[in-house]
Amino acid sequence: MPQRKQTADAPDVVVIGGGPAGSTAATLIAQAGYRVELYERERFPRFRIGESLMPETYWTFQRLGMLPKLYKSHFVKKYSVQFFSPNGKGSTPFYFWDNKPHDCSQTWQVVRSEFDKMMLDNAREHGAVVHEGVRVMDVLFDGAVLEKARAVGVKIKTANGSLREVRSKVVVDASGQNGLLMNRLRLRVWDPVLNKGAIWTYWKGAYRDTGRDEGATLVLQTPKERGWFWYIPLPEDVVGVGVVAPFDYLFKGRPKYAQTYEEEMETCPAAKERVSRAKRVTGYFATKDFSYRSKKVSGDGWVLVGDAFGFLDPLYSSGVLLALKSGELAADAIVEGLRTGDTSAAQLGKWGPEFSRGMDRMRRLLCEYYSGFNIGNFVRKFPHLQSPITDLLVGHLFSDHVDQIWEPMESMRHSGEPPIPPWDANLAADEAGRMPSATLPRGWKP
Ligand code: FAD
């Protein structure tokens, strides 16, 4: 155990945000014996979208001590994912267990309010000091030039409204899409391709498959604009059903969310049929669903994790996996840095390049889908590649063995189709301090 040299008022690490990324980082740093204070502006349980997990979350859950809790929970067990074309024809389900017969091939469809609370409580149990209802207003920097300055703590607004400074050796920004530091340091780069919107609601009594198919995530393509519905079975006979499509198409000049949702469902018989005898049990939710990534993962004394570093379109349900993985990798780098007395940008962000390569793999699969790639046809044409593509679908993003699928995938593209621009193609425009108009939905101001 490391010696605690700091006073009770001065934690080694401050974590901003108690979502999956923040609670993962806090748990693992506290597990290593360092003093962690986590500030979460809301009080849990609080609503979050992002219910379908990927099997590769297993390994981080194992380190966090979360597996026994998940096995005891009422969350729906997920064994596969299946894709449907606009005419309702389903691909063969991608069964994770058939690809890798191991406990890690079963994962869960979670209720995020409950899951996030379990994760946050788990961080407390491992020694992290968690404050709910406390907002981080700013990160404190020591140095004249902000971009090169060292983070030395945060300014918080406590539940009673008073402002206070908390000093620490490292600040972990896990503030989700808010991206506290990403905004402050102007690091966010909007994806040039993945700029969608989503509308969703929850149904009770909707159709459910049986046996090992009961908890499957279904991706049901709509005929227009390569939109798609997610169909996620949840506990207590509830199913989350949401539509994703280009932002402009979904929100500009369209009626209220409810009507748009219903109009989209009319175009997708596979979704409509499944909810035809169900009762809607909530209102409609809607969100802008633009992918983005930060130009940097770390600076001296600070590091970004989860959505506060980057967000990818939810088609393959990769968000929580990326939150857990980045939380874990950042925690390891921080613990090593605290042990050796090195909390430089290079040490805190040493995992960044490899992690970004993993995000690139998932992004490429997403962009291929939106430019016409059909996963069912792909596996029919290249049956020997079923395994590496399933590996990607379970979240095996950080190994180059999955890269064997790209060339065959490329061969299925129509000739003359432009190549997929990289995630940072907009960097030049963003450097100039504006979001490129090509990416902006009509009439939408950044
Ligand atoms: P969050 O879960 O957003 O947590 C951030 C926390 O920080 C919040 O609790 C917030 O209150 C707190 N916070 C913010 N600012 C401050 C502040 N200043 N001070 C203190 N606290 C602060 N992912 C999946 O894995 N599966 C899915 O099926 C899936 N579906 C999705 C569908 C849609 C439409 C969208 C938009 C996303 C989906 N995601 C999905 C992505 C997933 O929701 C996120 O990737 C995931 O929640 C990221 O976790 P996080 O911990 O980084 O951020």
pLDDT tens by residue, 132-177: 999 999 999 998 788 789 999 999 999 899 999 999 999 999 999 9
What is the position in ligand 1's atom list of the atom closest to the CA of 307?
52
Confidence of residue 387 (pLDDT cuts 50, 70, 90): very high
Place of tokens 């194992």: 62
Write the residue with the smallest CA distance to atom 41 of ligand 1.
319
Range 381-399 average pLDDT:
95
DSSP β-ladder status, 80-84 and 170-173: unpaired
Identity (one letter) of the amino acid at 91? S
pLDDT band, very low/low/confident/very high, at 414 (cuts 50, 70, 90)? confident
383: helix, strand or coil = helix
pLDDT for the residue 4: 40
CB of 233 sitting under 6 A from ligand 1: no
Q: DSSP secondary-structure letter at 90?
A: B
Q: How far is the CA of 269 from the centre of ligand 1 (A)?
A: 31
Lowest-pLDDT range of 61-65, 264-268, 442-446: 442-446
* Residues 278, 206 contacting (CB under 8 angstroms): yes
What kind of fold does domain 13-75+110-187+295-355 have according to CATH?
FAD/NAD(P)-binding domain (3.50.50)
DSSP state at residue 276: T
- CATH for 191-290 is 3.30.9.100
Q: Is 351 in the pocket of ligand 1 (CB under 6 A)?
A: no
Residue 40 CB less than 6 A away from ligand 1: yes
Q: Count CA atoms closer than 13 A to 190's CA, side-chain side.
A: 19
Lowest mean pLDDT among 142-156, 168-182, 198-212, 265-279: 142-156
* Interval 376-400 mean pLDDT: 94
Q: What pTM did the predictor assign?
A: 0.94
The string of pLDDT tens digits covering residues 52-91 is 999 999 999 999 999 999 999 999 999 999 999 999 999 9
Evaluate whether 13-75+110-187+295-355 and 191-290 have a shared fold.
no
pLDDT at 144: 79
> What is the domain partition of the chain in residue ranges?
13-75+110-187+295-355, 191-290
Q: Return the closest-CA partner of residue 314 out of 386, 247, 403, 219.
A: 219
What are the tokens at 299? Answer: 């600076």
| CA end-to-end span of the chain | 47
Check whether 435 has a pLDDT greater than 50: no
151, 149, 153, 150: which is closest to 168 by C-alpha?
153
The percentage of the chain sitting over the pLDDT mark of 70, rounded to a whole number, equals 94
pLDDT score at 328: 98
Burial (CB count <10 Å: 0-12, 13-18, 19+), residue 72: exposed
176 CB less than 6 Å from ligand 1? yes
Cβ of 136 below 6 Å from ligand 1: yes
Digit-coded pLDDT (tens) for 326-373: 999 999 999 999 999 999 999 999 999 999 999 999 999 999 999 888
Q: How far apart are CA 24 and CA 39, in angstroms?
A: 14
Distance (angstroms) between ligand 1 centre and the Cα of 5 equals: 33
Predicted local confidence at residue 9, as pLDDT: 67
State which ligand 1 atom lies nearest to the alpha carbon of 53.
25
At 109 the three-state DSSP class reads strand
Q: Is the Cβ–Cβ distance between 198 and 314 less than 8 Å?
A: yes
419 Cα: distance to centroid of ligand 1 (angstroms): 30
The Å distance, Cα 162 to ligand 1 centre, comes to 26
